[in-house]
Chain A
């Protein structure tokens, strides 16, 4: 395989052909490791609807049906004072801030709170001008995430 020269000093030896081969070998090895890691990760992933992902000690899985996903994208105004969005892909705190900054700009939405432990985003809805599920879904998708269910609370 590839043997790394783990010295911290200079290594100015070997022919040009040897250096090319060695450099390309290291590059290929790095790519191979990347492919193996990615392959392993991809093997553990599932579709949004089936929510079959498993990431070991911490995996928030939203068990939703196809109808939940479809309803989350419906052109129906939110009929309640509060809504909880079930969102996939909230990988880190800074990522999640994309959502509350953008959702806060939606007319009829206020008091947005992101819960990374459950993968849910709660928000208050103005009954006088409620947004549609489709509107919220678009904002979530624009932010780089996936909305799989809208839970309406009275």
Chain B
């Protein structure tokens, strides 16, 4: 199977997800129990505007993100993200340029260092997340060919029907390509911050036989690069959580940006599922 077919297949089977109580783009201080796995598959379309100082009129990125989380011991999980992408560059007056490949892998260790379960549903949790963006080996502009350390943290609060996640990550960039930078993939260090609010639409109250829940989600997703670029996006979404699997759909739009080194996002769409086993 050639790379193009493999990428298309990956996109077609994309379903995706997160840990429990986790919106699409914001981390949560939740994790699988020791010995358990969460498989998460997401499909995204990111549509970007004009890249500065180029003749590109638009860039579309179709991304498939496969994530696996494994509960190592109590309060510690290992997380691996494998993003596969197809980039379509629409150049004024020319045919579109298609490339596909594997982007840098995220290999992270999550340590939940604080937990206060104050009620049957209510909880406050905090976790540190450390790791690196690791080169995939792809030499077609998708991988940085380096290892860039990342360190961050996340706080999760659940109060009845209301859930809240806040994460913050710093990426110490050791390599990259400004020509392919769509946010955090260039030569500058990056500070990412994401805020998510989840409201349980149904059931309003859990019953003894409740096995699933629907959530409305809203996120603020920000990325600041040390070259001065800053972008803030907002992301409305809908999420379903069952006992063994979940699904989510989400859109993303720009809220505020000041960019001189990379194109701004016009819009994004995302779909995902996740399985616990």
* Residues of chain A at the chain B interface (Cβ within 8 Å): 4-12, 14, 16, 19-20, 22-24, 26-27, 30-31, 33-34, 37-38, 41-42, 44-48, 51-53, 55-62, 87-99, 101-102, 105, 115-120, 141-146
Contact between A59 and B160 (Cβ–Cβ < 8 Å)?
Answer: yes
A41 to B158, CA, bound (A): 8
Q: Is B155 an interface residue when CB atoms closer than 8 A count as contact?
A: yes
A8 to chain B, nearest CB (A): 6
Main SS of the interface on chain A? loop
Contacts A94-B243, A144-B33; is A5 near B160 (CB within 8 Å)? no
Residues in B with CB closer than 8 Å to A31 are 168, 193
**Chain B residues near A10 (CB-CB < 8 A):** 49-50, 257, 259, 264
Interface size class of B (residues with CB under 8 A): 35 or more
Which residues of chain B from 148 to 201 have any CB-CB distance to chain A below 8 Å in the complex? 155, 157-164, 166, 168, 191, 193, 195
Q: Closest 7 A-B residue pairs measured CB to CB?
A: A119-B120, A60-B120, A23-B230, A89-B117, A55-B160, A88-B117, A53-B118
B46 within 8 A of A: no
CB distance from A63 to the nearest CB of B (A): 11
Give the number of residue pairs across the A-B interface with Cβ within 8 Å: 231
Contact A45 B50 (CB under 8 A): no
> Is the pair A91, B122 in contact by a Cβ cutoff of 8 Å?
yes
Q: Counting CB contacts under 8 A, is B212 at the interface?
A: yes
B56 in contact (CB, < 8 A): no
- Interface readout for B64-80 with A: 1 if CB under 8 Å, 0 if not? 00000000011100000
B contact residues vs A (CB 8 Å cutoff): 19-21, 30-36, 49-50, 52, 73-75, 112, 115-124, 155, 157-164, 166, 168, 191, 193, 195, 204-208, 210-213, 220, 222, 224, 228-230, 232, 241-246, 253-260, 264, 266-267, 274, 276
Q: A34-B195, A45-B124 are in contact. Are A23 and B224 (CB under 8 A)?
A: yes
- Asked if B49 contacts A118 (CB within 8 A), the reply is no
**B211, B228, B245 interface centre (most CB from chain A within 10 Å):** B228
Cα(A44)–Cα(B164), bound, Å: 14
Residue of B155, B206, B230, B254 touching A38 (CB-CB under 8 A): B155
Given contacts A30-B193, A30-B222, contact A41 B124 (CB under 8 A): yes
- Distance in angstroms from A138 CB to nearest chain B CB is 9
Nearest residue, chain A, Cβ from B112: A144
Given A8-B254, A87-B120, A91-B121, A16:B228 Cβ within 8 A: yes
